[in-house]
Amino acid sequence: MKSPQLPLQIAVYSLLSQKIPYPVHDDFPQEAPYPYVVTGDASAVDWSDKFKAGQGVSITVHVWSQYRGRKEACEIIDLIIREISASTPDLAPDFNVVQGRLESSQLFMDIDGKTRHGVITWKYLIEEL
């Protein structure tokens, strides 16, 4: 069995980098201007059966904004949800995405008291080819 986490991370990062008008990072940047987006961690659980190997993979996308209020962060979250919903990640030749869906999204005030932090989680069922 192989792990689809890195190919999925690359696909989501590539999609967002091309489709949204905000900087997208694959790690938390030092000294980056707000707003920005970070493709986050992934977790996987076995989804294999006797015929095919597969995994259920959850991946997070983080939104960071210092706009006073929720408007900017909510608009970025909406844009990300629209773009990810409109496409299926291409993980060929090793994997195929069977299903993808929004698992959750939330927006909260960061501990610094001035930064809005959005967290979007997607769940994918991925089979190994």
Q: Per-residue DSSP letters for 10-72?
A: HHHHHHHHHHSSS-EESSPPSSPPSSEEEEEEEEEEE---SS--EEEEEEEEEEEE-SSSSHH
Closest by CA to 97, choosing from 33, 47, 40, is 47
pLDDT for 49: 87
User: How many structural domains comprise the chain?
Assistant: 1
pTM here is 0.93
**Amino acid in position 7:** P
User: What's the CATH number where 13 sits?
Assistant: 3.30.2000.30
Percent of the chain with pLDDT over 70: 100
pLDDT for 95: 97
pLDDT for 115: 97
Q: What is the CA radius of gyration of the chain?
A: 15
Low-confidence ranges of the chain (pLDDT < 70): none
**Domain that includes residue 96, residue range:** 5-128
Is residue 120 within a helix (H) or strand (E), and if so which, with residue range?
Answer: strand 116-128
